[in-house]
């Protein structure tokens, strides 16, 4: 059953309060990708075990496959059944129209990413369309996230090494971050400090000194995309600096696929798929729990 506008606004207000607490108490909410119901169960299990506030997130691929309203309903059902503090993030919305659809569906977090859809988008176009989403989000109070330029990588397993000289060309700067936040009025700035989407043959390295300078330059929340494959000590320090949202996708997908392949190989005569998924869910849950610990968000959920 769809949420009422009042319920959506209440959820968005709670999300804002939790993000404010995250910054004040130095913890971050994990934004964990939802590929299907099994990954949602894994995240909900981890949130309940760790008593942690979490986000589940979907991008256009998942939205097209599952549907905005179905995603909202699924999350709301598990939120009630498990008694967890859980919000939904629409990740990398390629257009204003997609973002507004997420707002109207009751998502508490909306990421508008004009440059991801169009790498040649001008600064003026990115700012103008981001401002449209910020204005539209006033209907519900949803938190709007954005960045001023294309963010590298993809949520997959990459074979190539990381070319940091090339990646550094897209790093955030304190001056550019402040100018973009001031121009758009966004709630969350997606910083680029060495993080990038996907898993690579070598661990990622974050420029924490740059992150500190970006934190000092802006007043809104800071998120880190492309958290998979990042050594945990970077997250521990980033949270201390003031990051309040970290996106995790590929680490979960790797655990899901490798565990599923193992389970299928060990159970060649079993065709009741539901009987095979417990081990898979458990493997993904372990990933989520480990990130929650790194993000210092255990026992930070608001009392229901």
CATH number at residue 14: 3.20.20.70
Confidence of residue 156 (pLDDT cuts 50, 70, 90): low
| C-alpha span between 160 and 148 (Å, rounded) | 26
Confidence of residue 153 (pLDDT cuts 50, 70, 90): low
91 is catalytic: yes
- Measured from the Cβ of residue 122, the count of other Cβ atoms closer than 10 Å reads 11
- Rounded average pLDDT over 282-296: 98
| C-alpha span between 124 and 210 (Å, rounded) | 25
Tell me the residue range of the domain where 196 lies: 5-294
pLDDT at residue 68 in the model: 96
Q: What single-letter DSSP state applies at residue 168?
A: G
Confidence of residue 208 (pLDDT cuts 50, 70, 90): very high
For the chain, what percent of residues have pLDDT higher than 70?
95
- Rounded average pLDDT over 29-55: 97
pLDDT of 143 > 80? The answer is yes
Confidence of residue 204 (pLDDT cuts 50, 70, 90): confident
Compute the mean pLDDT over every residue in the chain, rounded to the nearest whole number.
93
Question: Is 304 a member of any domain?
Answer: no
pLDDT of 20 > 90? The answer is yes
pLDDT at residue 129 in the model: 97
Question: Is 275 a member of any domain?
Answer: yes
Question: Is 21 a member of any domain?
Answer: yes
| C-alpha span between 249 and 43 (Å, rounded) | 12
Residues recorded for the chain: 304
Question: Is 136 a member of any domain?
Answer: yes
3-state secondary structure 257-294: HHHHHHHHHHCCCCCCHHHHHHHHHHHHHHHHHHHHHH
**Which alpha helices (DSSP H) does the chain contain, by range?**
5-25, 37-50, 60-66, 68-82, 96-105, 114-117, 123-136, 164-167, 174-184, 208-217, 232-241, 250-266, 277-294
pLDDT at residue 154 in the model: 63
Question: Is 168 a member of any domain?
Answer: yes
Question: Is 25 a member of any domain?
Answer: yes
- Assigned token pair, 149: 């330029």
- Rounded average pLDDT over 241-245: 98
> Which of 55-59, 85-89, 155-159, 286-290 comes out lowest in average pLDDT?
155-159
Catalytic residue, candidates 35, 91, 98, 251: 91
pLDDT at residue 26 in the model: 97
Each residue's pLDDT tens digit, 84-129 = 999 999 999 999 999 999 999 999 999 999 988 888 899 999 999 9
Question: Is 300 a member of any domain?
Answer: no
pLDDT of 169 > 90? The answer is no
pLDDT at residue 161 in the model: 72
pLDDT at residue 149 in the model: 80
Question: Is 301 a member of any domain?
Answer: no
**Counted domains in the chain:** 1
- Rounded average pLDDT over 168-177: 90
Q: When comparing pLDDT for 107 and 170, which is higher?
A: 107
The single residue listed with the structure tokens 């006033």 is 138
């Amino acid at each position: 059953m769809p949420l009422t506008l009042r319920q959506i606004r209440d959820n968005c207000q709670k999300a804002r309060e939790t993000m404010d607490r995250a910054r004040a108490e130095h913890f971050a909410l994990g934004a964990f990708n939802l590929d299907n119901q099994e990954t949602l169960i894994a995240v909900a299990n981890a949130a309940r075990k760790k008593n942690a506030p979490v986000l589940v997130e979907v991008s256009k691929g998942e939205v097209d496959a599952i549907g905005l309203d179905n995603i909202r309903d699924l999350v709301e059902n598990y939120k009630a059944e498990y008694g967890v503090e859980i919000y939904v993030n629409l990740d990398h919305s390629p257009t204003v129209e997609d973002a507004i659809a997420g707002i109207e569906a009751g998502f508490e977090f909306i990421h508008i990413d004009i440059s991801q859809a169009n790498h040649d988008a001008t600064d003026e176009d990115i700012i103008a369309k981001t401002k449209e989403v910020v204005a539209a989000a006033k209907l519900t109070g949803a938190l709007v996230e954005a960045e001023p330029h294309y963010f590298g990588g993809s949520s997959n397993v990459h074979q190539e090494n990381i070319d940091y000289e090339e990646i550094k060309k897209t790093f955030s700067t304190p001056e550019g971050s402040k100018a973009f936040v001031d121009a758009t009025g966004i709630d969350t700035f997606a910083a680029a400090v060495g993080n990038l989407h996907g898993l690579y043959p070598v661990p990622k390295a974050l420029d924490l000194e740059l992150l500190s300078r970006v934190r000092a330059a802006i007043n809104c929340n800071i998120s880190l995309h492309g958290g998979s494959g990042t050594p945990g000590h970077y997250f521990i320090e980033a949270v201390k600096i003031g990051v309040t949202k970290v996106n995790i996708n590929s680490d979960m997908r790797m655990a899901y696929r490798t565990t599923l392949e193992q389970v299928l190989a060990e159970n060649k005569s079993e065709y009741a798929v539901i009987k095979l998924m417990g081990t898979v869910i458990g493997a993904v849950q372990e990933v989520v729990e480990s990130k929650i610990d790194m993000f210092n968000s255990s026992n930070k959920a608001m009392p229901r």
